A = this chain, B = another copy of it.
Amino acid sequence: MSEYTPPLRVTSPAALDTLARCRDLVLPALRETVDRLHPWLGRMASFTFGWCDSDGTPTVRGTSNNSGGGNGGGGGKALRPALAVLAAEAVGAPAQAAVAGAVAVELVHAFSLVHDDIMDGDEQRRHRATAWKTFGVGPAVLAGDALLALALDTLAHSTGRLAPATRSAAMSLLSTSLVELVNGQAADIAFEYRPWTGPEAVTVEEYRTMATRKTGSLLGCASALGALLGGAPPEMVTAMSLVGRDLGTAFQAVDDLLGIWGDPAVTGKPVFNDLRLRKKTLPMVCALAGSTASAQQLADLLAMPLDTPDAEWTLRRTAALISKAGGRSFTTAQAHLHLDRALRTLDSVAMERTAAAELITLSEFVVNRTH
């Protein structure tokens, strides 16, 4: 397998157009939902979406729907809402059918970021201070809770014209995904207490299960919800769920690559962030699982403390050893493997052609993105 080559900073205009279209479609409903919160919670929620500064002053992103390419200026890529919208269109429904589902998954995603940043002690996200760093831990806990409460309420109440069975199935998809998500996050944190090497070390298989739960479940929920709300039959909902899950697992693999080799100017996180935090990500787990000399050198390096003056050198060397031990190429291959599987699943169901093409473009973006 050839050595991983970092993607060029191509912006994939088609994928960014799709993301922008879906974000613009969903934004008014998302804002309306957030308006139902107590003003103080509403301000924190708006901050997490990049609509305003910590004091409530609207940002450029917050005053127009034009976010200029899915990065910078706060807010996220809104990948999950896009998946929901495209899934609805792919099964022949109008985009509008997916809006409640798209809002719900974006709210759940925002909730998980706010709480994860507290758990991980992360101080920066999307080029700004995180919510807990800005408002304090207690307020950020409540802001996260509020986002989650809104997600459920949106799905329970914005789908009034649907058959009760569909509404009930939608809530079921979301709640299953939530349980998976917290169990995945717990597994990820529990990995921290495991040794780097030896029989107790985290295996690639354990990592994959964790990533599918932590990231795949919500992307799977997004695409399944879109199909369900778009009126698709159960087997199509299941297929769309599988597509999202595979994309999510690929997404997490790419996240792991960017967490080590990503450009801080693009990712909005410090260089070598995951190495600094000593995270057991896929490139690391895979590199250590090998029996090469590099794997042994890597293990030796990890046994050394990081709070020395030459920490930068250590981090650079760690990253190089992970590459050399095959962790980088394996993780890239994993991302492509899950992408390919998602594309094959997409190919197996009869879909509306334009939406299908957009779904494929977006899927490829998930793997080739630089942020």
Contact surface of A with B, Cβ cutoff 8 Å: 36-38, 40-41, 115, 118-121, 137-139, 141-142, 144-146, 148-150, 152-153, 155-157, 163-165, 167-169, 171-172, 174-176, 178-179, 181-183, 185-187, 189-190
Interchain CB contact (< 8 A) of A142 among B157, B172, B186: B186
Interchain CB contact (< 8 A) of A186 among B146, B164, B178, B181: B146
B186 near A40 with CB under 8 A, answer yes
How far is it, in angstroms, between the C-alpha of A152 and the C-alpha of B119 when the chains are bound? 22
How far is it, in angstroms, between the C-alpha of A232 and the C-alpha of B352 when the chains are bound? 44
Interchain CB contact (< 8 A) of A41 among B115, B175, B182: B182
Q: Quote the shortest CB–CB distance from A309 to chain B (angstroms).
A: 29
How far is it, in angstroms, between the C-alpha of A175 and the C-alpha of B157 when the chains are bound? 9
Interface hub of A41, A169, A190 (most chain B Cβ within 10 A): A41
Interchain CB contact (< 8 A) of A164 among B138, B149, B168: B168
A118 near B145 with CB under 8 A, answer no
Interchain CB contact (< 8 A) of A185 among B118, B142, B164, B189: B142
B146 near A148 with CB under 8 A, answer no
B137 near A179 with CB under 8 A, answer no
B182 near A149 with CB under 8 A, answer yes
B175 near A152 with CB under 8 A, answer yes
How far is it, in angstroms, between the C-alpha of A164 and the C-alpha of B152 when the chains are bound? 17
A178 near B149 with CB under 8 A, answer yes
**Nearest 9 pairs of A and B residues by beta carbon:** A119-B138, A38-B186, A164-B165, A149-B178, A152-B175, A153-B175, A164-B164, A146-B182, A168-B168
Interchain CB contact (< 8 A) of A40 among B37, B148, B171, B190: B190
B164 near A142 with CB under 8 A, answer no
How far is it, in angstroms, between the C-alpha of A255 and the C-alpha of B241 when the chains are bound? 46
Chain B residue with the shortest CB-CB distance to A145:
B182
How far is it, in angstroms, between the C-alpha of A120 and the C-alpha of B190 when the chains are bound? 27
A115 near B142 with CB under 8 A, answer yes
How far is it, in angstroms, between the C-alpha of A153 and the C-alpha of B175 when the chains are bound? 5
Q: With A38-B187, A172-B156 as given contacts, are A118 and B141 in contact (CB-CB < 8 Å)?
A: yes
Interface hub of A152, A163, A165 (most chain B Cβ within 10 A): A152
- Residues on B with beta carbons closer than 8 Å to the beta carbon of A150: 179
What would 20 A/B residue contacts be, using CB atoms closer than 8 Å?
A: A41-B182, A41-B186, A118-B138, A137-B137, A139-B189, A141-B141, A144-B145, A145-B182, A148-B178, A149-B178, A152-B152, A152-B175, A152-B178, A153-B175, A153-B179, A156-B168, A163-B164, A164-B164, A164-B169, A171-B171
Q: With A118-B138, A142-B119 as given contacts, are A175 and B190 in contact (CB-CB < 8 Å)?
A: no
Q: Quote the shortest CB–CB distance from A93 to chain B (angstroms).
A: 20
